[in-house]
Amino acid sequence: MEKVITTHLFQGEANGIMNVFISNKICNMYVIPRHLIDDAIANPDIKLDRPAFYMLLGGTTEITQLPQAYIGHAESFQERVKSHKSLSVHGKKFWDKTLVFIAGDNTLTKVDVAYIEAKLIDKAAQ
């Protein structure tokens, strides 16, 4: 079965903020470089104040030399990412890009994204 994947480049370039979605699915994926998080939050076309599951992706670990990832969920990604962006003790320093998954029609609930987060963590552990 054919699928059409659409990529919207918000700044007109591939290394900026992107929205990637499949035409017959409700979930949108935003790819947001860390240094553009504030731009994404300020953009009225990007609805990051909804329940979301997300992955923070970044550099390799010193021990394994494998890329690092953090999988999470939030009732409002734009509020949650503030602590991840912080360079304080509680912030996540390793990441340089995030993948944020939200429902375009706002149908995902906190319970939905928590369930998806748990399944992703389980899959990543395998």
Q: Compute the distance between CA of residue 51 and CA of residue 7 in angstroms, rounded to an integer.
A: 21
Residue 99: the pLDDT is 94
pLDDT tens digit sequence for 77-125: 888 888 887 765 556 788 899 999 998 788 888 899 999 999 999 998 8
Residue 72: the pLDDT is 92
Q: How far is CA 22 from CA 10, 26, 28, 33, 102, in A?
A: 17, 8, 8, 21, 13
Closest CA to 112 of 22, 26, 3: 26
Percent over 70 (pLDDT), the chain: 94
